[in-house]
Amino acid sequence: MARTRRPRPEREPPDADAALEIAARYLATRPRTRREVELRLRRAGVDEAVIAATLDRLAALGYVDDAAFVRWWGEQRDRHSPRGRRMVEAELRQRGVGREAIEAFREAWEAPERAPGDDHLPSSDAERATIALDRHLRGRPLPEDGKAVARLGMFLVRRGFDPETARAAIRSAQRSAGAEPEAEGSS
């Protein structure tokens, strides 16, 4: 038997202090884009004027900064789940990052400025593809079957790497494993 939902009692929309509290709780788990915070405040029923004022206040305090979010997101991807530039840009667009911040990200992607302790982070798509392939294989040997190698190539393409980068990563893995690299058109 289906349960019916009781309608919620009508409440006043949250005021500026309550909106700031909602946003602060939402930002407590991880950095967010301006758009993500805006959508969260709308779900909470906050008025448009209060949303704008809250976002401006959070931006002035440095809690909402799309450029900082882009840097953080790219670094998190490099550390935990390497993706190609195209995939990371698509993820940023899904989160509401503006075109200017994505353009700045694109310029910094190939020549990232790393902190002294971040030498282990990849600095090119080729390194990212190699890391993604190694993590995907999890110590298993590289397959010798042409179809399996092609599937590995498609795995990398689905993660935002261009086909040539995927082929190069697979060839590099084959060389390091001592296998003869497959023909050019195989992956």
CATH code, domain carrying 44: 1.10.10
Residue 114 in any domain: the answer is no
Runs of H (alpha helix) within the chain: 16-27, 34-43, 48-61, 66-80, 85-94, 99-109, 125-137, 146-158, 163-177
What is the CA 22 to chain-centroid distance, rounded? 24
40 contacts: CB under 8 Å, gap ≥ 6: 22, 23, 26, 32
Q: What is the pTM of this model?
A: 0.75
pLDDT tens digits along 6-15? 776 777 888 9
pLDDT tens digits along 36-76? 999 999 999 999 999 999 999 999 999 999 999 999 998 89
Regarding whether 74 and 54 lie in a shared domain, the answer is no
64 close to 37: Cβ distance less than 8 angstroms? yes
Residue 11 in any domain: the answer is no
> ∠117-121-123 over CA atoms, to 5°?
120
Q: pLDDT value at position 187?
A: 45
Hey, what are 23's tokens? 């946003």
pLDDT tens digits along 102-144? 998 888 876 656 555 555 677 788 889 999 999 898 888 888 8
Number of domains the chain contains: 3
Residue 44 belongs to domain spanning: 16-61
- Residue carrying the six token digits 């993604």: 132
